[in-house]
Amino acid sequence: MFTASAACRAARPAKETLGNEIRRYIRLEDLSRTILPTDIERALRRERLVGVEDVQMQLFRFLPTRQAYITLTHPDLLQMNMAKLRNMSIGGHAVTAIPCLEPPTVENLRGVKGRKSAFERRSLPALTSSGALSNGRQVCTWGFPPKASVECVKDFLGHNEIDILGDKPEIYKVNLQADQFSLYSRYLIRTPFISDSYRIARRIHQTLFRPDRFGTKFQVRACVVR
């Protein structure tokens, strides 16, 4: 007969697995808006955290959310590290640390075809961790008219004397989910080098899109995805 105690024993491995998954990840909240993963890693070394495998920023439609994820090498290290994080501050901001499940990640974006397919299918989650996008070779830019096309963004970059993306620049529209609405459109620009990303972001941030036609209605903003 399958007794209650036997049922508990059968369910225990699943519970332990779920518990271990929770104990491997920590979410940091209340971070500075300008903080980078390297800033967090430096603070973790200062506090002498043990077994840190990875640090990733949390992104909402490729923009930072003032939250980050820490991945530990083993669940047994959670309590020790949580104690060290209890009173930690980064860049003058007191942060909050919470154990969490594995952070959401973007699907495989390797190769031009993979990236193009992911954006066209609108399969990228709105909320995700930085993951492979944290190499500094992506610029998120927003503030364009809602019906602006990739060609419009190319022309805008050319008007601002940005000619470093080659003949076939990788510019992808960040589409909204089916139930979302926005007065502006957003794009992700992939660059050859990190220095190019910062050059583009500095050049187009807070510039006006087609002021001859729209006046001051559409102010473009940009930041490097880290």
pTM for this model (two decimals): 0.77
Are residue 136 and residue 206 in the same domain, yes or no? yes
Determine the Cα–Cα distance for residues 156 and 204; give it in Å rounded to an integer.
Answer: 9
pLDDT attached to residue 109: 63
Q: Which residues pair with 100 in a beta bridge?
A: 25
Are residue 120 and residue 218 in the same domain, yes or no? yes
Are residue 78 and residue 144 in the same domain, yes or no? no
pLDDT attached to residue 67: 93
Are residue 34 and residue 80 in the same domain, yes or no? yes
Are residue 189 and residue 209 in the same domain, yes or no? yes
Are residue 20 and residue 84 in the same domain, yes or no? yes
> Nearest CA to 222 among 196, 193, 201?
201
pLDDT attached to residue 43: 95
Are residue 96 and residue 59 in the same domain, yes or no? yes
106 is a domain residue:
no
Are residue 55 and residue 159 in the same domain, yes or no? no
Residues contacting 134, CB < 8 A, separation 6+: 37, 56, 57, 225, 226
pLDDT tens per residue across span 137-189: 899 999 999 999 999 999 999 999 898 888 788 899 888 877 778 899 999 99
84 is a domain residue:
yes
Are residue 119 and residue 181 in the same domain, yes or no? yes
How many domains does the chain fold into? 2
CATH of the domain at 90: 3.30.70.330
Domain that holds residue 117: 111-224
The SS3 call for residue 186 is strand
188 is a domain residue:
yes
Would you state the structure tokens that stand for residue 192, as one six-digit string?
Answer: 């050859």
Averaged over successive runs of 10 residues, the pLDDT of the chain (226 residues) comes to 38 46 86 89 94 91 90 94 92 91 72 68 66 79 94 94 86 82 91 93 96 96 91
DSSP line for 52-93: EEEEEEEEETTEEEEEEEEEES-GGGHHHHHHHHTT-EETTE
